[in-house]
Amino acid sequence: MKRVVTHQRSPSPPAETPSLFTYSGDQGVAEPSPSQATTPAVEEPPPADEGAYGAFDPSSPASPPPEGPPDPEKEQERAQDGAQSDYTAHPPLPEEPPTGPFTATAAAGDYLSGLNAAQRRAVETTEGPLLILAGAGTGKTRVLTTRFAHILLEGRAWPGQVLAVTFTNKAAREMRERISALLGRPVEGMWLGTFHALCARMLRTHAPLVGLGRDFTVLDSDDQTRLLKQIMAGQAVDQKRWPARQLLSRIQLWKDSGLLPSDIGPTEDDGMAGGQARALYTRYQQRLRELNACDFGDLMLHMVSLFRAHPEVLAQYRRKFRYIMVDEYQDTNRIQYEWLKMLAQPEAGGSQGAGEAPRAPNIACVGDDDQSIYSWRGADISNILSFEKDFPSAAIVRLESNYRSTAHILGAASGVISFNEGRLGKTLHPSDAAEEGERVMVVDAADSAAEARLVAQMAKRLHQSVPQDWGDMAVLVRAGFQTRPFEEVLMREGLPYQVVGGVRFYERAEVRDAIAYIRAMAQPHDDLAFERIINVPRRGVGAASLQRLRDEASARGLSLQQAVAATLKEGKMKGKAATQLAMLLEVLEKGRAMLGAGPGGAQDLQAHQGASAGGGLRESLGPSHVQAANQVLEGSGYLQMWRDDKSVEAPGRLENLAELLHAMGDYPSLPAFLEHVALVMDSDTVRDDGGRLSLMTLHAAKGLEFDTVFLPGWEEGVFPSQRSVDERGQEGLEEERRLAYVGLTRARKRAVVLNAARRRLYNGWQDAIPSRFLDELPEHHIYRQSQRRPGQPAPHQRSAWGAPSGGTFKHPYRGGTFRAQDAGSGRPGTATTPVRAPAESVPSSTPARPRPTMRPHSFTLGQMVQHNRFGEGTILAVEGDRLTIHFQDHGDRRIMARFVTPLS
C-alpha cells in the first residue's frame, strides 16, 4: 500500500522580486506585474487548432484559422521536426506555490533505489553546471527523470521552475510519464518539451516584440516552399536551376546557425540563386511577418534575437528557471546552443536580487560525444566538447555501466571509437561482468549479392534455432541505396521485413520515376509511365496541356507518345513545351535503338510474357539494356535535375538511381528486370510470425536496440563514406567512426560485420577494399566464421546459430590478411576454406592499404571547374583521382574528381 509522503521545501527558495510571472490567485494564470506593464505577460497559448499550425494562403495578408481535423501526414511531419504544439496543454506554473508543500505518493527514498553509483551521483549533483557523459545503454533517461523528481522532492524547485529540453516529442512524453510514475501523481505546469515547442510557448507571450501577433501561424514545409516559390517568381529567379526547396534548405541552415539576413556575407551566400540568396531570405522574412507567420527555424531564431534585444525578458526567464536539463546535448546546433547558454548564464547583479553574488548556473546536459552523428543537419559536436570551457566550474559524471550489450560487443565498439581524437573519453563495460557473450563476427563475402544472401541465411537460422523473433533482428546500412539487395533476398526467401525510417527501395519516388522512364522507353504504349515523367523535370506541361494531349490520343486512337509526336508535327504546340517534349521523344527513341527494338518494334510486357520465342520485345543481351536506361535518364535531364539539387537528400537519391542501374545488371534483359520489379512491387505476402526484421540506415537506428544486428558494407568508400571524408576530411572520418560505434552498440547479444570483395556497378564489377574500421576492431573481441559451404558447421564448437562461443575461437580477424571465398557465389560446392596467415605474420600496426582503382578523368592543371558547394575553382594539382582546387571564398580544397564538373 502506498503512503502519502509530504516533502517540506527546506529551505524554501528565497522570494523573488516582482517579475513577468507574478502569481495571481488559484487559477494558475500568470499576469504581468504593474511595473512591467510594457512587456507582454506569460499567458496560456491558444489551442493548437486555432491558428498555431494550420495551413495558410501565402497570397493573403493573414489567414483565418484552419477548419476541420488536422492532416495526419502533416502532423507526423511536424512531430518529426520537433515542433508539435505540446506546450498548449501545459500553461506555465507561477513561481510561488499556491499553498503548502509539494506532495508525492511514494515511499521516501524509493526513487533512488536501483541506481548505480555513477547514476546516483548524477542525480544528486543538483547545484552548478553538470555534464553527464552517458554512453550507449547506460540508463540516461532514468537518470534525467529521477533527477527531475529529486529536485522536486528535495524542495529545491517547483515543476514550472525546471526547464527540461528534449529533441523529440516521444522523448518528452516518456519523460513526463516517468516523472509522474516516480512521484505517484500527475505533475502539471512543467516546462518540458522539444526546443521548438518550448520556444513556441515563449514566443506566444512575446510575439509583438518580434513583429508578430500572438496568434501567429507556424508554417509546415509545404507552405514554406509555396511562399518561397512566389517570392522567387517575383524576382525572376530561374527555379529550374535553383529550385525553391534547395534555397529553403539553405535558409533553414542559416537559421539553425543563428544567422539573420543581415549576417549573410559572400562566404555564406556561395553564389546560390544567382547571388540573390540573401535578398530572397530578406524578402522571405518580410513576407512571413506580413502574413503573421513563422517557420520552424524562426521559433528559435526569434527567441534568441529577442533575448539579445530585450535583456529584461531574458532576465525574467533566467530567474524563473532555477534548473535547466538538456537531453542529447551532442546533437545541438548553433542556435540551440546559444539559446541554452543565454538562459543558463546568471544575472550580473545576482540571481535572486540586488547585492547577491551570481550563482553558478544549474544546467545539466546529458549527452554522448561518441554518438554525435548528425552534422549534416547542423549538429555541432564542439558544443559538448567545449562544455567545460563554457562552464569552468562544471562537474562531469561518466555513465559507463552498460545495461544492453555483452562484453565482446562493448569491447569491439570501444576499440573502434578509441581511434577518434576529438572525444572526451569513456569506456563502456557491461553491468553484468559475467555476460561475456559471443564475439563480434566479421564476414568477408565474395560480392554484394553474396553478402545479402548470407544475412538472410543467418537470420533464418537464428529464427529457427534459438528461436529469435524477426523483430529482434536488424540490418543497419550506411546509406539507403544499400537496402535494395537485402529487400530482394528477403522477399525471395519469404522472410518478413520492414524498412524503418524510409520506404522500400522500389517505392522511393526517384526510383519510381526512373522505372517510369525505362518503361516509357521500352514500351511506347505505356501511357501511365509516360504521364509520370512527361513533366519531370519540368518541361512546361501543365495539367491543362496534359489533358488536351489525353483527349487528342483518345480521339485518334493513339498512345500518349504518339499523340505528342502528332501534335508536334502538326504545329499545334509551341514554345518551351514543344521544344522540351521533342527532345524527350528523341531521347526515348535513342534508348529503344540501343535496345535493338526500333520504332514500332516493342510490344507491351504482357504480350512479351505470353509470346513465343522471337515475338514481342527482343531480348537485350549483355549490358545494352543498362546502357540504354542510363542514356535515357541522362539525356532526359533527370539525373542532372538531382545533381543540381542542393538539398541534403539529393546525394542519396542519386545513389538510389545508381543502385537501380546496378540492379538492372543482374538481369539478362529488360523484360526480365521489369517483370521482377512488377513482382517485387506486388509482393507483401510474407510470413509474419514474430514481427519483422528491420532494414534501416545507421542514422535511423540511433536510440534503438536489437538482440542481433547485421552491419554490411564495411568497405572503403562505402563505410566510411567517401563523400563524407572528401568534403570534411578528418572531421568527416571521425563522424563515420562514431556511426560505426552507434551501429555496434545497437546489438544486445550478437553483432555481425560484413564486407564484400566486389560490388556491382551498372557498367560492371568494381573491387572493394575492406574498411579501415575492421583493422580497428580489437582482435580478442572478434572472430571470423569460416563456412565450408552454406550451412556446414566448422569443426570447432559452435553456438546455436553457428557462431563460436566464449573463448573457443582460435583465429581472430585482422582486416586485409585474407578474404573468404566461401561467402561467395552462393552455389553449393563451390566454396573453399580460406587460408589465414599465421598469427605471428600479422603486423602489429595497421598495414597500409592499396588505393582503389579509380576511373580515369581528363582534368588538367589550371582548368576551371564547378563544385556544388564551393562554386567555381581552379585546379592547382592532380594526384590520381584527387584534385587540389582553389576556391575564391573557400581557399584550397582536396576533392575527388567525381565531385566536380569542368567549365567550358
- Cα end-to-end distance, the chain, whole Å: 82
Residue listed under C-alpha cell 598469427: 839
DSSP category for residue 747: E
Is residue 323 located within the same domain as residue 344? yes
Query: 666 lies in a domain?
Result: yes
DSSP category for residue 514: H
Q: How many Å is the Cα radius of gyration of the chain? A: 30
Q: What are phi and psi of 215, to 5 degrees?
A: -100, 30
Residue 884: pLDDT band (50, 70, 90) is confident
Q: How far apart are CA 350 and CA 325, in angstroms?
A: 21
Residue type, 405: S
pLDDT given for residue 103 in this prediction:
64
Contacts of 559-563 with C-beta under 8 Å, sequence gap 24+, read: 559/524, 559/525, 559/526, 559/527, 559/530, 560/527, 560/530, 560/531, 560/534, 561/520, 561/524, 561/525, 561/530, 561/585, 561/588, 562/524
Which is it for strands 900-902 and 864-867: parallel, antiparallel or unpaired? antiparallel
* 3-class secondary-structure state, position 289: helix
Residue 19: pLDDT band (50, 70, 90) is very low
Residue listed under C-alpha cell 555513477: 118
Instruction: Say if CB 751 and CB 441 are below 8 A apart.
Output: yes
Q: What average pLDDT does the structure give for the chain?
A: 76
pLDDT of 109 > 70? The answer is no
Q: How far apart are CA 476 and CA 487, in angstroms?
A: 13
pLDDT given for residue 759 in this prediction:
83
Is residue 695 located within the same domain as residue 809? yes
Instruction: Say if CB 330 and CB 384 are below 8 A apart.
Output: yes
Query: 54 lies in a domain?
Result: no
Is residue 15 located within the same domain as residue 119? yes
Instruction: Say if CB 402 and CB 742 are below 8 A apart.
Output: no
Residue 355: pLDDT band (50, 70, 90) is low
Instruction: Pick the range with the lowest mean pLDDT from 614-623, 665-674, 839-848.
Output: 839-848
**537: preceding bond cis by omega (within 30 degrees):** yes
Q: How far apart are CA 630 and CA 715, in angstroms?
A: 26
C-alpha cell at 719: 563505410
pLDDT given for residue 852 in this prediction:
35
pLDDT of 14 > 50? The answer is no
Q: What are phi and psi of 67, to 5 degrees?
A: -110, 155
Which of 841, 872, 893 is at the close of a domain?
A: 841
3-state DSSP of 183-202 = HCCCCCCCEEEEHHHHHHHH
Averaged pLDDT for residues 419-444? 88
pLDDT of 682 > 70? The answer is no
pLDDT given for residue 24 in this prediction:
29
- Nearest Cα neighbor of 751 from 795, 776, 779, 783 is 783
* 3-class secondary-structure state, position 208: helix
* 3-class secondary-structure state, position 244: helix
Burial 293-327 (b: 16+ CB within 10 A, else e): bbbbbbbbbbbbbbbeeeeebbbbbbbbbbbbbbb
pLDDT given for residue 340 in this prediction:
97
Is residue 793 located within the same domain as residue 822? yes
Averaged pLDDT for residues 227-245? 87
Residues 6+ apart with CB under 8 A from 424: 133, 369, 384, 385, 396
Query: 697 lies in a domain?
Result: yes
pLDDT of 110 > 70? The answer is yes
Query: 533 lies in a domain?
Result: yes
Q: What is the CATH number of the domain that holds 676?
A: 1.10.486.10
Instruction: Pick the range with the lowest mean pLDDT from 134-138, 207-211, 756-760, 826-830.
Output: 826-830
Q: How far apart are CA 371 and CA 735, in angstroms?
A: 9
Instruction: Pick the range with the lowest mean pLDDT from 37-51, 235-249, 658-672.
Output: 37-51
Burial class of residue 719 (count of CB atoms within 10 Å of its CB; 0-12, 13-18, 19+) = buried
Q: How many CB atoms lie within 10 A of CB 101?
A: 12
pLDDT given for residue 356 in this prediction:
56
Q: How far apart are CA 310 and CA 319, in angstroms?
A: 15
pLDDT of 20 > 70? The answer is no
DSSP category for residue 165: E
Question: For a pLDDT cut of 90, what percent of the chain falls above it?
Answer: 44
Residue 334: pLDDT band (50, 70, 90) is very high
Q: How far apart are CA 9 and CA 647, in angstroms?
A: 53
Coarse DSSP helix, strand, coil percentages of the chain, rounded to the nearest 5 percent = 45, 15, 45
For residue 835, the number of C-alpha atoms closer than 13 Å in the C-beta half-sphere is 1
C-alpha cell at 883: 584534385
Query: 41 lies in a domain?
Result: no
Query: How many residues in the chain?
Result: 904
Domain count within the chain: 5
Which of 626, 655, 680 is at the close of a domain?
A: 680
pLDDT digits (tens, 9 = 90+) for 133-175: 999 999 999 999 999 999 999 999 999 999 999 998 889 999 9
Which is it for strands 782-783 and 747-756: parallel, antiparallel or unpaired? unpaired
C-alpha cell at 127: 547545484
Query: 281 lies in a domain?
Result: yes
121: Cα separation from own chain's centroid: 33
More confident residue, 59 or 116: 116
Instruction: Say if CB 228 and CB 280 are below 8 A apart.
Output: yes
Q: How far apart are CA 476 and CA 468, in angstroms?
A: 18
pLDDT of 813 > 50? The answer is no
Instruction: Pick the range with the lowest mean pLDDT from 128-137, 368-377, 476-485, 640-649.
Output: 640-649
Residue type, 361: P
Q: Please identify every residue annotated as catalytic.
A: 140-141, 327-328, 371, 746
Q: How many CB atoms lie within 10 A of CB 699?
A: 17
pLDDT digits (tens, 9 = 90+) for 87-106: 333 334 344 444 344 565 54
Is residue 352 located within the same domain as residue 308? yes
* 3-class secondary-structure state, position 551: helix
Phi-psi region of 68 (alpha: psi -120 to 50; beta: other; left: phi over 0): left
pLDDT of 789 > 60? The answer is no
Instruction: Pick the range with the lowest mean pLDDT from 368-372, 736-740, 749-753, 848-852.
Output: 848-852
Residue 305: pLDDT band (50, 70, 90) is very high
Query: 194 lies in a domain?
Result: yes
Binding-site members for ATP are 134-141
Question: For a pLDDT cut of 70, what percent of the chain falls above it?
Answer: 73
More confident residue, 610 or 498: 498
Residues 6+ apart with CB under 8 A from 767: 757, 758, 852, 853
C-alpha cell at 402: 552498460
Find the helix packing angle between 650-664 and 509-522, rounded to 10°: 40
Report DSSP letters for 77-100, one per residue: HHHHTT---GGGG-PPPPSS-SSS
Residue 358: pLDDT band (50, 70, 90) is low
C-alpha cell at 896: 575527388
pLDDT given for residue 30 in this prediction:
32
- Nearest Cα neighbor of 231 from 177, 183, 287 is 287
Is residue 16 located within the same domain as residue 136? yes
Is residue 611 located within the same domain as residue 712? no
Is residue 558 located within the same domain as residue 480? no
pLDDT of 351 > 70? The answer is no
Instruction: Say if CB 425 and CB 790 are below 8 A apart.
Output: no
pLDDT given for residue 474 in this prediction:
97
Burial class of residue 797 (count of CB atoms within 10 Å of its CB; 0-12, 13-18, 19+) = exposed
pLDDT digits (tens, 9 = 90+) for 478-524: 998 899 899 989 988 999 999 887 777 888 889 999 999 998 998 88
pTM exceeds 0.75: no
Which is it for strands 758-761 and 871-879: parallel, antiparallel or unpaired? unpaired
Residues 6+ apart with CB under 8 A from 382: none
Q: How far apart are CA 398 and CA 384, in angstroms?
A: 13
Is residue 704 located within the same domain as residue 768? yes
Is residue 201 located within the same domain as residue 257? no
Query: 659 lies in a domain?
Result: yes
Q: How far apart are CA 692 and CA 629, in angstroms?
A: 34
Is residue 636 located within the same domain as residue 564? yes
- Nearest Cα neighbor of 375 from 688, 109, 730 is 730
Instruction: Pick the range with the lowest mean pLDDT from 64-73, 662-671, 738-747.
Output: 64-73
Q: What is the CATH number of the domain that holds 333?
A: 3.40.50.300
- Nearest Cα neighbor of 668 from 620, 716, 702 is 620
pLDDT given for residue 809 in this prediction:
29
Which of 232, 266, 291 is at the close of a domain?
A: 291
Instruction: Pick the range with the lowest mean pLDDT from 353-362, 456-465, 583-592, 793-802.
Output: 793-802
pLDDT of 829 > 80? The answer is no
pLDDT given for residue 389 in this prediction:
94
Is residue 354 located within the same domain as residue 437? no
Phi-psi region of 788 (alpha: psi -120 to 50; beta: other; left: phi over 0): alpha
Domain of residue 589: give its range: 506-680
Instruction: Say if CB 517 and CB 735 are below 8 A apart.
Output: no
Instruction: Say if CB 879 and CB 861 are below 8 A apart.
Output: no
Q: What are phi and psi of 643, to 5 degrees?
A: -65, -35
pLDDT given for residue 891 in this prediction:
74
User: 693 - beta bridge partners?
Assistant: 497
